[in-house]
Amino acid sequence: MVIGIVGLGLIGGSLAKAYKKSNNTVYGFDIDTITLQYAIMTGTLDAALTQDTLKLCDAVFIALYPDATVEYILKNQSFFKKDSIVIDCCGVKEKICSPCFDIADKNNFHFVGGHPMAGLQNSGYKNSKEDLFCGANMILVPKKNEDIALLSKIKDILVLAGFESVSVTSAQNHDKIIAYTSQLAHVVSNAYVKSPSAAVHHGFSAGSYKDLTRVAQLSAEMWTQLFMDNKENLLFEIDSIINSLNQYKDAIKSNDRQALFSLLKEGSDRKVKIDKNELE
């Protein structure tokens, strides 16, 4: 199989390494020519992904920021192989999928929104790993959920990179849920480390601190784009957690032990139900 990778950061680089490991022909592109040449010299890529080699690709993964993803597909729309599969890897879907579905239809290739559920704290090609996606889930946003043949073909392609499962959803549902599971977590973590106490935490922190601060270090450029492209869903989640925090604050401020106990127990019980998939 011939695979194209656009963007050789953590995700794109890991995809390139994974597909090369499973004996596919891999072409890649990155705006950083040093990274691109290094990937070719070390054998991760067979050659650069150009408009000529793009025509040979059975599947193309685009691992760029949202704006750049749409721009790349627009610019190269006539060079994708007929019936090839193009999958983006962005953290938002509504902004990407709507225009790209139309572009794909007009140029006889398949576009499917994608979001790999895998990552690391550190970004860039130097941190990419061939086994990053082993056992991971890929969220897919097809134009038609009932296109079983296409989804089955994509799953077979993803297995070659180590993915274990896929989840199929709509762009709207993806963005609503990801605002809670990913974007809110990054906002909270990034805000948490701004406490004055962070400067003196050494020797007083363990698992809780590490868990809560793991995603505080981020790409401000990328996450600004993702947050703004999903602002309504994210604002809802931020308002929701502020409301919850105010309840804890009020109970502590008023010395209301019973109210605080109830809030803590409610949260603890809810976590158990979530883990057991029993939450209504």
Residues 6+ apart with CB under 8 A from 60: 3, 4, 5, 6, 54, 80, 84, 85, 86, 87
For residue 101, being part of any structural domain is answered with: yes
Number of structural domains (the chain) is 2
Last residue of a domain, one of 169, 189, 215: 169
For residue 231, being part of any structural domain is answered with: yes
For residue 218, being part of any structural domain is answered with: yes
State whether 54 and 145 are in the same domain: yes
Q: Is the entire prediction scored with pTM above 0.85?
A: yes
Last residue of a domain, one of 144, 169, 194: 169
State whether 36 and 162 are in the same domain: yes
For the chain, residues with pLDDT lower than 50 are none
pLDDT at 183: 98
pLDDT at 163: 98
Which strands make up the sheet holding 165-168, listed edge to edge?
Answer: 47-48, 25-29, 2-6, 59-62, 85-88, 110-116, 137-141, 165-168
State whether 18 and 156 are in the same domain: yes
Residue 104 domain boundaries: 2-169
For residue 86, being part of any structural domain is answered with: yes
For residue 280, being part of any structural domain is answered with: no
Last residue of a domain, one of 169, 198, 223: 169
pLDDT at 251: 99
Domain with residue 90: its CATH number is 3.40.50.720
pLDDT at 79: 98
State whether 155 and 257 are in the same domain: no
pLDDT at 204: 85
State whether 25 and 141 are in the same domain: yes
State whether 188 and 161 are in the same domain: no
How confident is the model over 202-243, as pLDDT tens digits? 888 888 999 999 999 999 999 999 999 999 999 999 999 999
Q: Are 35 and 145 in contact (CB under 8 A)?
A: no
pLDDT at 203: 82
pLDDT at 145: 81
